[in-house]
A and B are shown apart, each in its own frame.
Chain A
Amino acid sequence: DTAVSQTPKYLVTQMGNDKSIKCEQNLGHDTMYWYKQDSKKFLKIMFSYNNKELIINETVPNRFSPKSPDKAHLNLHINSLELGDSAVYFCASSQLLTEMNTEAFFGQGTRLTVV
């Protein structure tokens, strides 16, 4: 019954590896997001997809590539992992945020540690 689920919850990997984080939402939302929360606790948006189309792509290295096979899924693939990629990554979903749709639902987060 989890509304937004992401896997894995914890991911420890070595520098240079390629890894993926999966996200699924069962809320029927049109829009999905990936956020990165660093050690200073800032939540920074990385990507946003609406109906499988990319609508926000903040300045992130092109080693990060989102994939949305359908509007219920938004996966994040990371190539050539670096130490600075260590953070908690949150997936979220909402209807397209407008004044009328006011809530984003978050997954439980994936704590990525690059060693």
Chain B
Amino acid sequence: GQNIDQPTEMTATEGAIVQINCTYQTSGFNGLFWYQQHAGEAPTFLSYNVLDGLEEKGRFSSFLSRSKGYSYLLLKELQMKDSASYLCAVMDSNYQLIWGAGTKLIIKP
């Protein structure tokens, strides 16, 4: 079956760095996405990785290792507004998005 695993919840301090991991097993791979979802709101796109390596976008970076079925989202200089759920999703061989349950990130002052 297809499976996306990520931690349920993480806590970090304002100004710090946090890394949210995602491991996946899917039928085929056409890229991995990270989305941010604030409570009660729609998911919004953060990043897309299809090749191995690190993609940096401001305070957020996303890393992919296809051989390990592994990705992480790195958030630097954490701000209170970064408190949200972070969803990992993989596009399978049918170009269908398979979603993880999300990691709830709690930022403390």
The residues of A with any CB-CB pair to B shorter than 8 Å are: 4, 40-45, 48, 56, 90, 96-99, 102-109
Contact = CB atoms under 8 A, between A and B. Distances in A.
Interface of B is mostly: loop
B63 to A, nearest CB: 17
B48 A97 contact: no
B91 interface: yes
Interface of B: 30-31, 33, 40-45, 48, 50, 85, 87, 89, 91, 94-97, 99-102
A43 to B, nearest CB: 4
B43 A90 contact: yes
A99 B31 contact: yes
Contacts of B97: 45, 97, 104
Nearest to A102: B48
